[in-house]
Chain A
Amino acid sequence: MRIRAVHEGVLVEVVVERHGGGLRALLPDGTQRAFQATRTDDGFLIMELEDRTLRIPFTSERGESVFSWGGHAWRFRAEEAVPAASVPRDAGGALHAPMTGVLARVLVSEGERVAAGQPLAVLESMKVMATLESPVSGVVRRINVPAGSQVAQDALLVELEPDR
């Protein structure tokens, strides 16, 4: 499940999936966190992480979720539907930019082994963040563009060596 939500005009994307008996989240910076999550009847999310437990008050209605943390209310609006086709998965051992934008983050490094569907980079365009996933399982051979660069549509971003 991929959650796409807008906070203060910026799209935030997080992938959450079942993992063991609980959940695993892939954060925008590429780190992964395994945790258990429950809701209480009185409006708290209880998240048991490896090293600590978070208890975060929240509300969710009419497409807006608000979380209270660090004294601040963090608001997220469900993002308007983006056609899945706008972020195509490349075929073969190459990742291209699906649109013109700024390469916000590169989530992998050269020589790293990646699975098909694993997020490789985040491309920002018109305040919308798109996560670009690996088209194949294999090894990252070369990162052609450093994070922070402007890229044109179809620019080659990452070269991969697919598993045979």
Chain B
Amino acid sequence: MAARPIRRLLIANRGEIAVRIIRACREMDISPVAVCSEADRDALHASLADRVLCVGPAPAAESYLSTDRLLRAAAESGADAVHPGYGFLSESAEFARACREAGLIWVGPPPEAMELLGDKIGAKRLMESAGVPTVPGCSGDDQSDAGLRAEAERIGTPLLVKAAGGGGGRGMRRVDSLDALQAALDAARQEARAAFGDPRLLLERFIQRPRHVEIQILGDQHGGLVHLFERDCSLQRRHQKLVEESPAPSLPDPLRRQMTATAVAAARAAGYWNAGTVEFLVEEPPGKEPRFHFLEVNARLQVEHPVTELVTGLDLVKLQLRVAAGEALPFTQEDVVPRGHAIEARIYAEDPAVAFRPSTGRLLHWSEPSGPGVRVDSGVRRGDEVSAYYDPLLAKLVAYGGNREEALARLDRALGEFHALPLRTDIGFLREVCRSAAFREGRVDVEFLEREFATWRPPSEPPEEVILALAAEAATRASARRPDAPRAGDSWTPWADASGWRAAGP
């Protein structure tokens, strides 16, 4: 296939990933075109692009998920390619096909491979036929309640009900007793239909305390296909990843080799190119060798791709754009030599003390960490309004070090420099989790957070520094209203401030 350079790229996404893609465009002399909903007119991604087109009202279904409006925006802006980011329409083979039919380059895998691998049921069948170990479960052929119940009886409990059409923990239910199966099926179907427009479910044996390890793959349209090693994403809360790292701590080399080879073979069998991720569960049965089970393929760029970028020195988004344009991968498998250790922590506008309830409002204070070994991919800036319409991911903090210990120290230091006020975020939570002995020693599994941090609360007793800040804030308030006041202490009077803090008697 002849290379056809991309000159103008429509980014069918928002938030940090849209910003990330715009930056790649700038480095490649591609003109980035952003789309936004009415709620995002002032968003960071919209302000960084060469052009921004509003594609509809705030609800994603009417804007970021509207194939018609996105294609119209591409035509209007003269874009020759579309990058879907992650989430939204990134895993929609239908959208990929529509882009192609409109003469646009799709920056992602071919729709045929997306259909083959993106569908969990189909992917599992493909893997089984290729001899790849998968989690024991049902094929999903019979979607009736009775059919699923029969399968559940065969698999046994505990088992997992999953949505066939998507991930992110939506449409997923753990069932510990068959009595609870029907309720789980009803709830999962409803969630799956709402989230992915696809109510199909599948059942799997629930693997106790597995690690989540995934392999990054990248291919071109000329048969070039490599893996970019693994990421350990075991630190999750209800299947939502919070921390990801590479290399995976204490993954035996033979297992790593088998998993990377499996991922490449699977991608080759599916005719895959561009970036993708093959996810595995690693089970460590007591007294036995660890073993892996194929979980699913994410036929798109992953949220946690910077982890791989830092240890391989590659720029995945730029490589995506190059292979989408028809270029061959500029390196071979042997050239990919991982170095050091990278850990990503996701900064969410969610309150970890109250079941991760989303926190919305204006970011009056936002300061990002920087310095050696610290990368921040953020989708917001100071003064931005964080709305309830979209994903609560504000930013990704990625720390890099020569080894895991150094990466962890940098992550801890950087979390201490990260301030997002007055919203509730997981920054303090992440810091405590990353300081926990289990995480430091690299022994966490996907149930770790729910087991050890389910009742986490922020510290209750304010330390002296905070009490002093409380005093200083009140005492400097009067002068803050007068920009010409030279110094807080000089103009302070206890009665100057009629509102806010009460100056109590006597």
B252 contacts the other chain (Cβ, under 8 Å)? no
| Residues of B close to A141: CB separation below 8 A | none
Tell me whether A45 and B476 are in contact in the complex, defined as CB-CB below 8 angstroms, given that A14-B470, A38-B488 are known contacts. Answer: yes
Of B189-197, B270-278, B317-325, B417-425, the stretch lying at the interface with chain A is: B417-425
Output the nearest chain B residue to A80 by Cβ-Cβ distance.
B502
A79 and B470 alpha carbons, distance in the complex (Å): 13
Please, which residues of chain B bring their CB within 8 A of the CB of A68? 365, 419, 421
Asked whether A99 is an interface residue with its Cβ less than 8 Å from the other chain, the reply is no
Q: Is the CB of A75 within 8 A of B422?
A: yes
A152 on interface, CB distance cutoff 8 Å: no
User: Which residues on A sit within 8 Å (CB–CB) of B476?
Assistant: 37-39, 45
Does residue B131 face the partner (Cβ distance < 8 Å to A)? Answer: no
Which of B421, B464, B465, B476 counts the most chain A CB atoms within 10 A? B421
Interface 0/1 of B456-476, CB less than 8 Å to A: 001110111111111111111
Asked if B364 contacts A61 (CB within 8 A), the reply is: yes
With a cutoff of 8 Å between Cβ atoms, the chain A residues found around residue B474 in the complex are: 1, 3, 16
Would B465 and A37 count as touching, CB distance under 8 A? no
Instruction: Kindly report which residue of chain A lies nearest to residue B478, judged by CB atoms.
Output: A1
- Complex Cα distance, B462 from A65, in Å, reads 13
Q: Is the CB of A23 within 8 A of B489?
A: yes
Residue ID in chain A nearest B416 by CB atoms: A71
State the Cβ distance, A145 to closest chain B Cβ, in Å.
22
Question: Which residue of chain B has the shortest Cβ distance to A16 in the bound complex?
Answer: B471
Q: CB-nearest residue of chain A relative to B435?
A: A71
Task: Say which residue of B424, B459, B463, B469 sits within 8 Å of A58 (CB atoms).
Answer: B469
In B447-506, the 8 Å CB interface with A consists of: 458-460, 462-477, 479-480, 487-490, 492, 494, 500-506
Is A146 an interface position by the 8 A CB rule? no
Q: Given A65-B473, A78-B502, are A27 and B464 also a contact pair (CB < 8 Å)?
A: yes
- Central interface residue in B365, B421, B469, B474, by most chain A CB within 10 Å: B469
Tell me whether B469 and A54 are in contact (CB under 8 A).
yes
- A67 in contact with B367 (CB, 8 Å): no
B464, A33: Cβ atoms closer than 8 Å: yes
Whole-angstrom CA separation of A76 from B469 in the bound complex: 11
Which stretch (A82-90, A104-112, A155-163) binds chain B? A82-90
Instruction: Please tell me which one of the listed residues B419, B489, B494 contacts residue A1 in the complex, with CB atoms under 8 A apart.
Output: B494
Are B468's CB and A35's CB within 8 A? yes
Contact of A5 among B365, B416, B470 (CB under 8 A): B470
Interface membership of B415, Cβ < 8 A: yes
- The listed residue with most A CB atoms (<10 A of its CB), out of B479, B494, B504, is B504
Contacts of B467 in A (CB 8 A): 12, 14, 25, 27-28
Give per-residue flags for A49-85: 1 if the beta carbon is below 8 A from chain B beta carbons, else 0. Answer: 1000010111111011111111111111011011010
B431 interface neighbour in A25, A31, A71, Cβ under 8 Å: A71
Q: Is B427 an interface position by the 8 A CB rule?
A: yes
CB of A18 within 8 A of chain B? yes
A contacts, CB < 8 Å to B: 1-5, 7-8, 10, 12, 14, 16-18, 21-23, 25, 27-28, 31, 33, 35-39, 42-43, 45, 47, 49, 54, 56-61, 63-76, 78-79, 81-82, 84, 87-89, 117, 133
The residues of A that contact B428 with a CB separation of less than 8 Å are: 70-73
User: What's the Cα separation between A87 and B480 when bound, in Å?
Assistant: 31
* Per-residue A-contact encoding for B124-160, CB less than 8 Å = 1, 0 else: 0000000000000000000000000000000000000
> Is B421's CB under 8 angstroms from A45's CB?
no
Query: Are A60 and B465 also in contact (CB < 8 A) when A8-B460, A66-B422 are?
Result: no
Q: Are B364 and A22 in contact (CB under 8 A)?
A: no
Assess the B473–A58 pair: CB atoms within 8 A: yes
Contact B489 A37 (CB under 8 A): yes
Residues on the B chain within 8 Å of A65, using CB? 470, 473
Verify B421–A54 contact, CB threshold 8 A: no
Q: How far is the CB of A160 from chain B (nearest CB, A)?
A: 17
Contact status B464-A37, CB under 8 Å: no
Would you call A56 and B465 a contact (CB within 8 A)?
yes
A161–B415 Cα gap in the complex (Å)?
52
Contact B466 A69 (CB under 8 A): yes
The answer to whether A39 touches B489, judged by C-beta atoms less than 8 angstroms apart, is: no
Contact, CB under 8 Å: A4 / B504: yes
Complex contacts, B504 vs chain A, CB 8 Å: 2, 4, 81-82, 84
* Nearest CB on A from B301, distance (A): 29
Q: How far is the CB of A124 from chain B (nearest CB, A)?
A: 14
CB proximity of B469 to chain A, nearest CB, Å: 5
On whether A59 and B503 interact (CB within 8 A), knowing A39-B476, A72-B458, A72-B459, the answer reads: no
Whether A33 and B468, one on each chain, are in contact in the complex, defined by CB atoms closer than 8 angstroms, is yes
Q: Which residues of A contact B364 (CB under 8 A)?
A: 43, 59, 61
Contact B470 A59 (CB under 8 A): no
Q: From the candidates A57, A70, A89, name the one contacting B463 in the complex (CB within 8 A).
A: A70
Contact indicator B489/A18 (Cβ below 8 Å):
yes
Residues of A within 8 A of B365 (CB): 43, 57-59, 68
Bound Cα distance A82, B469 (Å): 23
Can you name 22 A-B pairs with beta carbons within 8 Å? A1-B475, A3-B503, A5-B470, A14-B471, A22-B489, A23-B471, A23-B472, A33-B468, A36-B488, A36-B489, A38-B487, A43-B421, A47-B472, A60-B473, A66-B422, A67-B469, A71-B432, A72-B459, A73-B424, A73-B425, A81-B504, A82-B504
